[in-house]
Structure 1
Amino acid sequence: MRAAVVAERAEATREALIATARRLFVHKGYFATGTEEIVAAAGVGTRGALYHHFADKRALFLAVFERVEEDLLASAGGADTTGDALTLLRGGLLGFLNASLTPEVQRILLIDGPAVLGWQQWRATEKRYGLGAIRALLERAVAEGSLSAQPLDALAHILLAAVDEAALFIAGADDPPAAREQAVTAVERLLAGLTTGS
């Protein structure tokens, strides 16, 4: 019983650190947020609590980054799942472009993500969360006959790279809503070229 209580408290502390860091990283950015500030705002005692759960601030950022990715996938899962695979793929990719207008996705996933994690780890994490879903929908589109048989691994990588770059374009733009419209148009044209009738 006591072990269960200790485990519960440890999990509550970890969750408080992630939630607080997430909020601070969005508002101040990773580099302007100190570990002491996170610990104080989370109300978890000393920095020892943070280092008990995370090797360093970067490891905490990775946990926050992954939580934002998980939330994006969960919200995509709650979207309309009826229709053909290419329609669902379009909805998911454009949904990510819409999400790239939010301060949380812009700051954590698109701006600080590559800077904090480094390009290689950022790309690997993006692939882990997006690549499988894209490939599964492409596979389904081939089975449905709306997409011709082709090397799906390459196509999935290309689509993920395209939408990631489009989101980075939006996040770095002086006028993000206008950039989003341009990015949506470009991605729509790219997807239109996939159909077997094109």
Structure 2
Amino acid sequence: MAAQRRAQMVEETRAKLVQAARKAFAEKGYAAASMDDLTAEAGLTRGALYHNFGDKKGLLQAVIDQIDGEMLARLRSVQNRAKDPWQGFLDEYTAYIEMALEPEIQRIMLLDGPAVLGDPSQWPNQSACLQRTTKAIQALIDAGTVKPVDAEAAARLLNGTALNASLWIAAADNPYAVFARAVEAFRHLAAGLLRSGG
């Protein structure tokens, strides 16, 4: 029972730190977010931060993992509402690109994250995303909707295109104008995978 309570306390501490860091990173940016301020906001010490996440960079990774999980849930919901699998596939990518318009995602996931953690296509969560996309493309191939292409290659190219579109939007002076251009071009590129009359 004591071990269970201790595990619960560790989870509560981690959750408080992630919540405080997420707020600080979104409002001030990673570089300007003070570890003393965010640990005080969580009612914890710097020691708790270092014990649970190693450093500020580890805390950023935890925040990104949390946001990524939320984004994935939203994308699944978008896909599930579509009239057919192809439309769900397109709607999911469009929703992903559109999330680049949200200030928290822009700042944490698309500006600070890559600057601190490196190439987003190499982040651990991208492996699961790639597998999921590859399966979706293979299902569309099997259903006769998409041409018989290499599903993994198509998934890597489409994911890279959507990620670069999102990075472009996040860094743009007029993100909404860039979003419209990016989505239109993305849909044309994706349509190239369709079988004739698909």
| TM-score, length of structure 2 as denominator length | 0.93
Structure 1 unaligned blocks of 5 or more: none
Distance in 2 separating the partners of 1:80 and 1:50: 37
Following superposition, which runs of at least 4 residues in structure 1 exceed 6 angstroms of deviation? Answer: none
Structure 1 counterpart SS, 2:101: coil
Moved more, 77-86 or 163-172: 77-86
> 1:70-122: CA deviations, max 9, x gaps?
11001112225254332121011000111110011101111011101022xx2
1:96 aligns with 2:90: no
Residue of structure 2 in register with 1:140 after alignment: 139
Question: Between Structure 1 and Structure 2, how many residues are aligned?
Answer: 195
8 A Cα contact 1:86 1:138, kept in partner:
no
Partner of 2:122: 124
Matches within 5 A, 1:1-198: 1-44=1-44, 46-81=45-80, 82-119=82-119, 122-125=120-123, 127-197=126-196
Of 20-29 and 80-89, more deviation after overlay is shown by 80-89
Deviation at 1:68, TM superposition (A): 0.8
Cα distance in 2 for residues equivalent to 1:101 and 1:129: 24
**RMSD value, Cα:** 1.4
1:123 aligned partner, one-letter code = S
Identity of matched residues, %: 34
Q: Please give the TM-score of this superposition, normalised by the length of structure 1.
A: 0.93
CA 1:123 to 1:133, structure 2 compared with 1: closer, same or farther past 3 Å?
Answer: same
User: Is the Cα contact below 8 Å between 1:69 and 1:129 reproduced in 2?
Assistant: no
Q: Give the Cα separation in 2 of the matches to 1:21 and 1:181.
A: 31
Q: Distance in 2 between matches of 1:180 and 1:193?
A: 20
Distance in 1 (CA, whole Å) between partners of 2:79 and 2:126 is 23
For residues 188 and 111 of structure 1, what CA distance do their matches in structure 2 show? Answer: 24
- Residues 94, 184 of structure 1: 8 Å contact kept: yes
* One-letter identity of the residue aligned with 2:10: A
Whether contact under 8 Å (1:110, 1:167) holds in the other structure is yes
**CA offsets 1:30-78 (integer angstroms, 9 cap, x no match):** 010121111011112x111111101111011001111111110011122
Q: For 1:181, give the aligned amino acid.
A: A
Contact 2:18–2:59 (8 Å) recurs in 1: yes
Structure 1 residue identity aligned to 2:153 = A
